[in-house]
Structures are given as C-alpha cells and as structure tokens.
Amino acid sequence: MTDRIIQLLTALFSTPEYKSCFIVDIEVRPPYNIQAFIDSDEGITLVICKSVSRYLESFLDEEIPEGKYSLEVSSPGLSRPLKLSRQYIKNVGRDIIVETLEGEHTEGKMTAADEQGFTVQTQHKEKIDNKKVLVTREITLLYTDIKEVKIAIKF
C-alpha cells in the first residue's frame, strides 16, 4: 500500500499545480490506517492537504474493499524530525536541535543547507581572560552523520 500511495503522490506532484510539493513520509498500519506527510517549498497549507486527501481518496475508494480505510494527509509538523535535504533547505534560518550518530547534541541556527549537509551556528559563553565572552561557531555536518534534527520550538 505504501508503494501505491507514493506512486499516486509522485504523479500528482509532477503536475504544475503541485510541483513545489514533496513526500516526506508515508505510514501505513494494518488494516488500512494511512498517514501521508507532505510538504512544499513554499509551506504546506490546509487547502493543499485537503486537495491531496481528496485525490488519494478517489483512488483508495476503488482499491480498498468497502472503503474501509482511514486517511490523514498533513504536514510533518514541528515535532517530527527533518528527513529530506529539501526540508533542510526550506528551513534555513530556523533554530534547530541536532543529535549526531555519536550522541552529541547541538542547538543553534541553521545557516545553510544543500544536498549533502547543513551548517549550524552555535553560540555559548566562554571564559576568556577572566571575562565571559559570547562565542559564535559554525559547524558543518553531513546528513550521513546525523541521527535526528528537529526544529527548535521556542516560546
């Protein structure tokens, strides 16, 4: 079922109206509990989610016996980790929380991202010559070295 959803969304997202949209994740739990997480380079809207949901329903109604399924189409939300380079690129300028494969944690502002990795700017106080000084560092990380990156939620 996951492959079918990906196939349907890939076809939809290749159309001019949805060309900035992309699939982030598809979760299917038995029997037919389907969650499609989508995003867009310009940001996802409720209108897009509703439209994509209707599109998928038009196929699922025919393919799933007696229409016994549940479907949820939404953005990944701030609580889910970033998965795709496209998400990183879209979120440049935002504060993030990084966990590396080695278990190191870093918080800071993502200042750049491309297809291979991203740069995070960190700030912390250090004692230099008996004075506390705010030190800014930039760290470049490859996606292959990352366990998880989430957008930092600040109030």
* CA trace torsion 10, 15, 21, 23 (10° rounding): 0
| CA dist., res. 113 & res. 142, Å (int) | 10
**pLDDT given for residue 130 in this prediction:** 85
**Around Cβ 49, how many Cβ atoms within 10 Å?**
16
**pLDDT given for residue 132 in this prediction:** 87
What's the CA angle centered on 126, arms 124 and 128, to 5 degrees?
A: 150
> Beta 33-40 vs 70-74: how paired, if at all?
parallel
Looking at domain 85-151, its CATH architecture is Roll (2.30)
Where do the structural domains in the chain lie, given as residue ranges? 2-74, 85-151
**pLDDT given for residue 78 in this prediction:** 82
Q: What CATH number should be reported for the domain whose range is 2-74?
A: 3.30.300.70
| C-alpha dist (Å) from residue 41 to 18, 27, 28, 99, 138 | 10, 22, 25, 24, 25
**pLDDT given for residue 5 in this prediction:** 95
Q: What is the pTM of this model?
A: 0.84
**pLDDT given for residue 154 in this prediction:** 80
Ramachandran assignment for 100, one of left (phi > 0), alpha (psi -120 to 50 degrees), beta (any other): beta
pLDDT string in tens for the chain (155-residue length): 899 999 999 999 999 999 999 999 999 998 899 999 999 998 899 999 999 999 999 999 988 878 789 999 999 988 899 999 999 999 999 999 999 999 999 999 999 999 999 999 998 888 888 888 888 999 999 999 999 999 998 87
**pLDDT given for residue 128 in this prediction:** 81
Strands (E), 15-102: 21-29, 33-40, 70-74, 95-100
